A and B are shown apart, each in its own frame.
Chain A
Amino acid sequence: MLVSSQGTSRVMPSVQPQICFPARSQLLEKIRSFCQENLRGHITDKGLHRKLVLAIDEAVANVIEHGFKRRNDGEETTIELSLSVKPDRVRVRIRDTGLPFDPRKRMEAGDADLNARHDSIPDRSHRGYGLQLIRLIMDEIDYERTPKGENILQLTKHLKRD
């Protein structure tokens, strides 16, 4: 079940829509739709809009993959996704109770490959592309493992004022 709420109207200068959903990959399509709808109207640049949805999709997919599939204890937990849209930035907050997973550490390991532009296929290891995309698209990536056993991943994109 998807539960969403939207704090304020789109005409207001900022909104904070939120959605809670089980950690299941088959819900990714609905999560993308949620992001598309809630970013539309605030992000007029279609390319940026697409990239933001992509980055959020990748982040949620990573949480499901690393936080829950590997846990393998049968427990199904919810993930909470919040969007905070202001004129000067978009902030995405993903909260879950899966296994600890700091994507920044994984990103550092992939730096060398990220900086390369390939004329031929470098290797067959194509895992980690999602983290690379998040890093390419978003400006700030923060992660915290709380004492309560929650992962909080926060992604920020600064917006240019018109």
Chain B
Amino acid sequence: MNSLKLLIEETPTGIVRIDLDGFLDAHNFEKLEAVFEKHFAEGHYRFIVDVSRLTYVSSSGAGVFVGAASACQDHNGNIVLVRPTPEVQEIFELLGVYQIFPVVKEREQALAQF
């Protein structure tokens, strides 16, 4: 079943890039949560998450992003979102949390956010 594919890459400067492909819902959100938790345990709090191929996010998925952003900001890091689809932007705006994430249109612009 097409669900959620994650491509994870750590840069030499310690920034973690995550590419998401698929959907993020109440069934698979823990997959992404586990990725954040793993990197937090290693002391990484700067993430660039490409959500341009994320077709759907439910509240469970949005909650992962909000919780992770909170942890990152507590450690002077953050989560930069790359090119959110209208669906992703919409749910974050509905929940009133869209503005807590730096958003860029191209991946190359993300590094400048740190």
Contact = CB atoms under 8 A, between A and B. Distances in A.
Interface in B1-38: 1-3, 23, 25-27
Contacts of B64: 126
B40 interface: no
Contacts of A124: 67, 70-71
A29 B28 CA distance: 11
Contact of B60 (A26, A61, A117): A61
B100 A129 contact: no
Interface in A108-122: 116-121
A3 B64 CA distance: 32
A127 interface: yes
B63 A127 contact: yes
Nearest to A130: B59
A126 B26 contact: no
A124 B67 CA distance: 5
Given A118-B100, A121-B70, A29 B94 contact: no
B58 interface: yes
B62 interface: yes
Interface string B47-70: 000000000101110111011011
Contacts of A50: 87, 90
Contacts of A47: 90
Contact of B73 (A26, A64, A121): A121
A137 B69 CA distance: 25
Dominant secondary structure at the B interface: helix
Dominant secondary structure at the A interface: helix
Interface of B: 1-3, 23, 25-27, 56, 58-60, 62-64, 66-67, 69-71, 73, 87, 90-91, 94-97, 99-100
B32 to A, nearest CB: 13
B96 to A, nearest CB: 4
Contacts of B71: 124
Contacts of B90: 47, 50-51
Contacts of B63: 126-127, 129
A28 interface: yes
